[in-house]
Amino acid sequence: MSGVTPPVPPRHRGEIPVTDLLAKASRSLLEVWGEEMFRNSGTTLEVLGQRLIVFNRPAAVESVLVAQAEVFTTKPAQLSRLLAPLLGSGLFVAEGRAWRGRRDAVAAAMAAALEGVGEGTGTDWVARPEGATLDVIAEMERLSATLLLRLIFGAAGGDATEIVRLARAYRGKISGAGLITLMALPEPLVRLRLGGDAKRIRALVEALLARARRARTGLAAGLPAELARDEAISLFAIGHDALSGLLAAAWFLLGQAPEVEAALHAELDSGAGEGPLLQAVLREALRLYPPLPLIARVAGRATEVAGLPVPKGSIGFVAPWLLHRHADHWEAPDEFRPARFLPDAPPPRPFSYLPFGLGPRQCVGEAVTMRVATLALAGLARRFRLRPLPGPPVVPRAGLTLSLAERLPMRLERR
């Protein structure tokens, strides 16, 4: 079912000079991968005196993220520096014992919040005329922000417009050429560049948190007071981009594949609830467009990974983007084929499919994400379909997170 292969970013062949690699990275981190990376077991390179190792084999992925997680425990300083102005000491950037305490508290609050996640599409599509043009990227950003604000702050969540605008501005600065420049800058300059936007987002979240705590509503109100602020910001900042990316990818792919869309509508109309095909569409969207396409760790000591010696201080990468489109693990890797995730299909090869990461730092929001995304997509797809409109090819790009397009106009139709 499907047979649709959406456009992929350009892939070079063979080795290219580091300067070309940096130029590609400043356009999109998805362009740095040569054709052979979608077939090989990994690579090692030295960039500006720093050893970088891409682990591209399931055994190595397991070793770095799971078996030797205590060796590969920290994230690269260049990454933490970009996120710290916004996230403070929140879970995503926390380390060591501080991380453990935060992880336990957030995981418990998340499990409690999962029970309260209900239907709620949070769009105004009902009020839009038949045939209206919607920008799916903007629509899903607003929807994801509304749903996450509701999750984190409960009834105090309120309107998402301002926070979406601010989050977009922050993301704009840490992607493309900005990302590469910022990574090379010392911390005070990074703070200077990002501090203003971060401060505005933090102020907004603090006001929401104060309201939520007074009303005892939402996930953050259940967290210990000393953790709540940084965790509320972290959950929103990490979750918002990823959730909206997943939902936009699902609409885009369904619009390309009328056969899959018809089967999904049949499933939704059969009263079977949010059935296996809806789950498969979401899983396939996460495979083709993993919202966090690159996971990075620093080797805390010299070690060996799947037979390869790894010196202390090396930066190790595990790239869902590569593993999810690797010729060894997937038939027709670039094709949208949700049937591969239906219950009667063989499960993906272990450690080749990891949209939510793996090991102790695996996404703490995974269950909530799948629940929220399922309800949102089912709620909308029961009543509406989105048809593609003519326009430039949709080629994903990535900074720290993947983005399908800046804008993606589609036509709204009632079913």
Instruction: Give yes or no for a contact between 43 and 148, defined as CB atoms under 8 angstroms apart.
Output: no
Please give the residue whose beta carbon sits closest to ligand HEM in the complex. Answer: 365
Please report the DSSP string for 355-378 in residue order: TT--GGGS-TTHHHHHHHHHHHHH
Q: 295 or 377, CB closer to ligand HEM? A: 295
Work out how close the CB of 363 gets to ligand HEM at its nearest, in angstroms, rounded to a whole number. Answer: 3
Work out how close the CB of 175 gets to ligand HEM at its nearest, in angstroms, rounded to a whole number. Answer: 17
The beta strands (E) that lie in 20-113 are given as 42-47, 50-55
Among 368, 380, 398, 404, binds ligand HEM (CB under 6 A): 368
Among 369, 380, 398, 412, binds ligand HEM (CB under 6 A): 369
Q: 201 or 235, CB closer to ligand HEM? A: 235
Instruction: Give yes or no for a contact between 150 and 208, defined as CB atoms under 8 angstroms apart.
Output: no
Instruction: Give yes or no for a contact between 355 and 320, defined as CB atoms under 8 angstroms apart.
Output: yes
Instruction: Name the amino acid, one letter, at 163.
Output: I
How far, in Å, CA of 96 to CA of 86, rounded? 20
How many CB atoms neighbour CB 96 within 10 A?
9
Which residue, among 380, 411, 405, has the nearest Cα to 137 in the 3D structure? 405
42 binds ligand HEM (CB under 6 A): no
315 binds ligand HEM (CB under 6 A): no
Which residue, among 132, 8, 165, has the nearest Cα to 409 in the 3D structure? 132
234 binds ligand HEM (CB under 6 A): yes
Q: Which stretch binds ligand HEM (CB under 6 A): 39-47, 254-262, 307-315, 356-364?
A: 356-364
Show the tokens assigned to 126.
């009902």
Map tokens 């940084």 to a residue.
230
Greatest CA span in the chain, whole angstroms? 61
Q: 159 or 366, CB closer to ligand HEM? A: 366
54 binds ligand HEM (CB under 6 A): no
Q: Which stretch binds ligand HEM (CB under 6 A): 119-127, 171-179, 240-248, 252-260?
A: 240-248
DSSP 3-state assignment of 162? Answer: helix
Report 139-198 residues binding ligand HEM (CB under 6 A): none
Residues 6+ apart with CB under 8 A from 201: 86, 163, 166, 167, 170, 233, 237
Which residue, among 170, 19, 9, 210, has the nearest Cα to 83 in the 3D structure? 170
Give the number of residues in contact with ligand HEM, rule: CB under 6 A.
22
Q: Which stretch binds ligand HEM (CB under 6 A): 128-136, 236-244, 248-256, 392-400?
A: 236-244
Per-residue x/- mask for ligand HEM, residues 282 to 311, rule CB under 6 A? ---------xx--x----------------
Among 163, 228, 242, 253, binds ligand HEM (CB under 6 A): 242
Q: 42 or 320, CB closer to ligand HEM? A: 320
Q: 110 or 412, CB closer to ligand HEM? A: 110
363 binds ligand HEM (CB under 6 A): yes
Among 361, 375, 377, 394, binds ligand HEM (CB under 6 A): 361
357 binds ligand HEM (CB under 6 A): yes
- The H or E element spanning position 380 is helix 366-381
Q: Which stretch binds ligand HEM (CB under 6 A): 46-54, 234-242, 259-267, 377-385?
A: 234-242
Q: Which stretch binds ligand HEM (CB under 6 A): 170-178, 207-215, 233-241, 380-388?
A: 233-241
CA distances from 96 to 92, 99, 271, 361 (A): 12, 5, 47, 12
The beta strands (E) that lie in 274-331 are given as 295-298, 303-305, 308-310, 315-318
403 binds ligand HEM (CB under 6 A): no
322 binds ligand HEM (CB under 6 A): no
How far, in Å, CA of 359 to CA of 381, rounded? 34
Among 12, 27, 51, 103, binds ligand HEM (CB under 6 A): 103
Q: Which stretch binds ligand HEM (CB under 6 A): 134-142, 204-212, 267-275, 358-366?
A: 358-366
Q: Which stretch binds ligand HEM (CB under 6 A): 19-27, 32-40, 166-174, 363-371?
A: 363-371
Please report the DSSP string for 180-225 in residue order: HHHHHS-HHHHHHHHHHHHHHHHHHHHHHHHHHHHHT-STGGGS-H
Residues that bind ligand HEM (CB under 6 A): 91-92, 103, 234-235, 238-239, 242-243, 246, 291-292, 295, 355-357, 361, 363-365, 368-369
